Structure 1
Amino acid sequence: MNDRGDDLAHGLVYVVDDDQDLGAAVARLLVRHGHAAKAFLDPVPLLDVYSQAPAHCVVTDVMMGDIDGFDFADRIRIVDPCVAIIFMTAWPTTANAVDSVRRYGGLDYLEKPIDEDRLLAAIAEGVGWSRTQRTALARTAMLTPRQRQVFDLLVMGHNNQAIAAVLDISPKTVEDHRAAIVAKTGTNGIAQLIALSR
């Protein structure tokens, strides 16, 4: 039986690859290492059902049919900004490697045949990142629209007076909103609020 720490290291992972054997093999590897994993041949069926069971991590091939891995990443991020994405390809290029991280928010860019240790390390990092993002999103989701405005300005480094001027409210009202934000998010100070916003 896994202890709580092990449970938190494992997550739901979807593998998308138009090579059925490779996708299934990657999914089996992940299951052997404690993850819940499912392979998809095509990103479209996954996009159709994704909102019913959001994943912690998606491993996707770059070169696929109508929707390539980068287009798929753009679409999945609209549905779920808290999912970690790992790209894999048999045809690596430096440009794609850079784009996968900078443009498409990929956690890693793996060359086929897949290095299992590197994949498992990336998945573990992705699951941890996803859990952190989901927790932060849940904590800030409780804020009212005005509290969210104050929160956004706070984490940008604005003081109470500057926030009051931007929002056309009194500094005392800003202080009240700050107190409510701290209470709702369970944070203690600006550093924790900034960490929550990342």
Structure 2
Amino acid sequence: MREELPALVHVVDDDADLGAAIVRLLIRNGYQAQSFLSPETMLDANARQECQCVVTDVMMGEVDGFALAEALRIQNPAVAIIFMTAWPTTANAVDAVRRYGGLDYLEKPIDEARLLAAIAEGSAWSRRRGAALRRIEPLTAREREVLELLAAGMSNKQVAASLNLSTRTVEDHRATVMAKTGASGVADLVALFADAK
């Protein structure tokens, strides 16, 4: 088995010194890291080489951290996003996590241990989600529906009733889902579906 490369982390902050300091911290801790002064330049770089994690300031120029998060989710649904701000508010903290799928919301000056813990968690999550999305990518829309219902704990008969299909058709779809995803059983399908969410 080939060795996995260190996670790539993009840091986006219009404060060049802070971005550079975070990059140095990450490199010292075994990550690949690059700093960007604007969301636009980071999105261009990410289009060429997707990162596993993005650490972004919330308040920047025309494109803030939340708008960046929305663009990133379209570009790479498996990227982990960590927000940071010098002006924390409860509303932004809630939005960062619930609305924009952020993993954490850090206040400046940055707590290095918390940042490193969030990046470790985010990078691992990103790799799991990316692998799961690649495994389910070949599935048809109907096969995805079958996967979702099986992952919810339904039997073949229950899936058939829910989708208005014959049990035999569901069994065929289930076999195809198992073959396409390489799943070893229902427990593996449940874990795969959870990682892809």
Common fold: TM-score over 0.5 = yes
1:153 aligns with 2:169: no
Once the two structures are TM-superposed, the CA of residue 152 in structure 1 deviates from its matched residue by: 2.3
- Which residue of 1 is the match for residue 120 of structure 2? 124
Aligned length: 193
Once the two structures are TM-superposed, the CA of residue 196 in structure 1 deviates from its matched residue by: 1.2
SS in 2 for 1:100: helix
1:72 aligns with 2:68: yes
What amino acid sits opposite 1:142 in the alignment? P
What amino acid sits opposite 1:75 in the alignment? A
Identical positions, percent: 61
Q: What are the superposed Cα offsets for residues 142-196 of structure 1, whole Å, 9 maximum, x if unpaired?
A: 3233322211232234432343244443211111111221232232433332221
Once the two structures are TM-superposed, the CA of residue 29 in structure 1 deviates from its matched residue by: 1.0
What amino acid sits opposite 2:60 in the alignment? M
Q: Which runs of 5+ in 1 are unaligned?
A: none
Q: Which runs of 5+ in 2 are unaligned?
A: none
- Which residue of 2 is the match for residue 175 of structure 1? 171
Deviates more, 1:93-102 or 1:18-27: 93-102
1:94-133 alignment runs, 5 A limit: 94-133=90-129
Inter-partner Cα distance in structure 2 for 1:38 and 1:72: 16
Deviates more, 1:150-159 or 1:68-77: 150-159
1:189 aligns with 2:185: yes
1:51-62 alignment runs, 5 A limit: 51-62=47-58
What amino acid sits opposite 1:170 in the alignment? S
Once the two structures are TM-superposed, the CA of residue 38 in structure 1 deviates from its matched residue by: 0.5
Deviates more, 1:59-68 or 1:139-148: 139-148
What amino acid sits opposite 1:109 in the alignment? Y
Q: 2:19 aligns with which of 19, 23, 26?
A: 23
RMSD, aligned α-carbons? 1.8
Normalising to structure 1: TM-score of the pair?
Answer: 0.89
